[in-house]
């Protein structure tokens, strides 16, 4: 979706302002937000793509006013409610009022090191050969889906070169909406700065994205 | 949906986000869905075990051992796992090497994708709109804000982390670092140099 998350090339946000000696967390609630988000993800009720879509579906005014842990927390409330773990009555009371759905698992402290060290690989074996090869010129699709996609607006309808051909990966556009993993081959596609940004682009710039096969067509 | 917790009588001593997160943790704990000790363990992992010192060890080894550097270039996930660094947001790693001709810079314009297994949790600026919006269109301007001015002829390659591949920049080994062992080399590898918003530090002058 053309939501607030799709920031590449947007203007007006001001300088980056990196913080000297930045602390890992800026408040204790950020620690809890991190932990609650990961522990709730362990329920197995939604996937990473659905999480990302919940975050980008926040109203732009909310998204841009929030820090990232606030974005996570607000999206987590949406996910928990959607999947039956949290109710309006719970939130209104600030404590458990309604019964919850049954999660596939509850993350225990003893399991945390193993779970974090394992992660959640998203590569999937594919029988079909790669449609594109390294060095080939490709054009990205020009589309504006209302659902989740990982093809940023700045890189739509642009001609680039396939730099690397990867394995199959879970397709976010499908997986975010409960329509299955539908894995597709992934490609690193590199664009000249002038192709993406046109007049005035930095002549030394190239930008790459990682694009699923259905995002691409032969140029 | 809208939840405004600002007026919750029992949380009115907390700021709104602290109250909001506390309410979530309380509700989920009461329902038996989360174990607060698991949250402590998650936080402790990223406070003490998983951080940019991991990535620095990878880079220092690549600087010291050309065989390892080749392995890292070819199959970063396995080469990095051989040092014990695996897991969440590092499942599919790619190492990109700076050269005198090309400087690499990593961003996630669409969210906050970052190689946790080697760099830990991302800094606030990495996840915020100024960096995410400008890194792809004005990387030199962004680098200036980090105090890094690249030569005009240096090519800039920006990697937008749009999928599940996570990028680790291998900065160039600084001059004057000959003879240093891996541990001393790792001390020169800053977090920002592995994102591409900085260079590796110069070694302290050794008195002669």
pLDDT tens column, A89-140: 999 999 999 999 999 999 999 999 999 999 999 999 999 999 999 999 999 9
Closest-CA residue of chain A to B163: A210
Contact indicator for A45, A104 with CB cutoff of 8 Å: yes
B27 contact A CB<8A: yes
Contacts of B140 by beta carbon, 8 Å cutoff, 6+ apart = A202, B150, B156
> Could you report the per-residue pLDDT of A32-42, keeping only the tens digit for each?
999 999 999 99
- List Cα–Cα distances, B127 to A58, A71, B107, B113, in angstroms: 16, 11, 9, 8
- Rounded to two decimals, the ipTM of the complex is 0.98
**Cα–Cα distance between A96 and A86 in angstroms, integer?**
8
Q: Please, where in chain A does CATH 1.10.472.20 lie?
A: 28-118
- B196 interaction partners in chain A (CB closer than 8 Å): none
Q: Give the dihedral sign, CA A168/A169/A173/A179.
A: positive
Residue B8 confidence (pLDDT) above 80: no
- B131 interaction partners in chain A (CB closer than 8 Å): 16
B55 contact A CB<8A: no
Contact indicator for B197, A18 with CB cutoff of 8 Å: yes
Q: Which of B47, B29, B30, B89 is nearest to A31 (CA)?
A: B47
> Could you report the per-residue pLDDT of B149-163, keeping only the tens digit for each?
999 999 999 999 999
pLDDT at B204: 85
Catalytic residues of B: 108, 111-113
Q: What is the mean pLDDT of chain B?
A: 93
- A204 interaction partners in chain B (CB closer than 8 Å): 152-156
Q: Which of A86, A179, A3, A142 is nearest to B29 (CA)?
A: A86
**Cα–Cα distance between B31 and A213 in angstroms, integer?**
42
B53 contact A CB<8A: no
> Could you report the per-residue pLDDT of B43-102, keeping only the tens digit for each?
999 999 999 999 999 999 999 999 999 999 999 999 999 999 999 999 999 999 999 999
Contacts of B110 by beta carbon, 8 Å cutoff, 6+ apart = A5, A6, A7, A8, A52, A56, A150, A152, B160, B162
Compute φ and ψ for A13, nearest 5 degrees.
-90, -5
pLDDT at B133: 98
**Cα–Cα distance between A171 and B163 in angstroms, integer?**
9
Contacts of B175 by beta carbon, 8 Å cutoff, 6+ apart = B202
**Is it true that domain A28-118 has CATH number 1.10.472.20?**
yes
| CATH number for the segment(s) B51-195 | 3.90.330.10
Residue A180 confidence (pLDDT) above 70: yes
For chain B, the domains span 10-48, 51-195
Both tokens of residue A130?
Answer: 């790669």
**Among B11, B112, B136, whose Cβ lies nearest the Cβ of A207?**
B136
pLDDT at B207: 53
* Distance between start and end Cα atoms, chain B: 68
State whether A122 and B43 contact (CB < 8 Å): no
Question: At B16, which helix (H) or strand (E)?
Answer: helix B16-30
**Among B39, B91, B117, whose Cβ lies nearest the Cβ of A35?**
B39
B110 contact A CB<8A: yes
Q: Please, where in chain A does CATH 2.30.30.50 lie?
A: 123-218
> Could you report the per-residue pLDDT of B69-85, keeping only the tens digit for each?
999 999 999 999 999 99
The pLDDT of B11-29, averaged and rounded, is: 89
Domain range A123-218, its CATH number among 3.40.190.10, 3.10.28.10, 1.10.10.60, 2.30.30.50:
2.30.30.50
Exposure of B73 by Cβ count < 10 A (0-12 exposed, 13-18 middle, 19+ buried)? Answer: middle
């Amino acid at each position: 979706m053309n939501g607030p998350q799709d920031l590449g090339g947007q203007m007006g946000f001001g300088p980056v302002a990196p913080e000297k000696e930045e602390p890992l967390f800026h408040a204790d609630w950020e620690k809890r937000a991190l932990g609650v988000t990961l522990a709730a993800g362990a329920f197995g009720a939604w996937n990473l793509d659905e999480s990302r879509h919940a975050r980008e579906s926040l109203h732009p005014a909310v998204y841009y006013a929030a820090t990232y842990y606030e974005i996570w927390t607000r999206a987590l409330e949406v996910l928990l409610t959607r999947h039956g773990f949290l109710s309006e009555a719970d939130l209104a009371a600030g404590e458990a009022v309604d019964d919850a759905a049954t999660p596939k698992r509850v993350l225990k402290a003893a399991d945390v090191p193993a779970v974090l060290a394992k992660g959640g690989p998203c590569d999937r074996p594919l029988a079909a050969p790669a449609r594109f090869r390294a060095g080939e010129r490709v054009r990205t699709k020009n589309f504006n889906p209302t659902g989740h996609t990982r093809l940023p607006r700045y890189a739509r309808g642009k001609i680039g070169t396939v730099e690397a051909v990867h394995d199959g990966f879970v397709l976010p556009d499908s997986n975010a909406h409960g329509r299955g993993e539908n894995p597709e081959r992934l490609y690193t596609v590199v664009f000249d700065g002038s192709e993406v940004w046109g007049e005035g682009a930095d002549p030394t710039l190239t930008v790459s994205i990682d694009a699923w096969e259905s995002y691409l067509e032969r140029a | 949906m809208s939840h405004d917790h600002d007026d919750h009588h029992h949380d009115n001593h907390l700021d709104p986000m602290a109250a909001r997160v506390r309410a979530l943790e309380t509700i989920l704990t009461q329902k038996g869905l989360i174990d607060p000790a698991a949250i402590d363990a998650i936080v402790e992992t990223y406070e003490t075990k998983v951080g940019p010192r991991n990535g620095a060890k990878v880079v220092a080894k690549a600087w010291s051992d050309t065989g390892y550097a080749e392995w890292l270039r070819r199959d970063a996930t396995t080469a990095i796992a051989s040092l014990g660094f695996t897991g969440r947001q590092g499942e599919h790693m790619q190492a990109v090497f700076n050269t005198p001709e090309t400087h690499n810079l990593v961003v996630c314009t669409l969210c906050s994708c970052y190689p946790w297994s080697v760099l830990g949790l991302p800094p606030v600026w990495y996840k915020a709109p100024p960096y995410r919006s400008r890194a792809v269109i004005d990387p030199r301007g962004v680098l200036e804000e980090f105090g890094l001015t690249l030569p005009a002829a240096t090519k800039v390659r920006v990697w937008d982390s749009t999928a599940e591949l996570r990028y680790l920049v291998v900065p160039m080994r600084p001059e004057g670092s000959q003879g240093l062992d891996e541990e001393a080399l790792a001390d020169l590898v800053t977090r920002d140099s592995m994102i591409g918003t900085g260079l590796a530090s110069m070694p302290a002058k050794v008195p002669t």
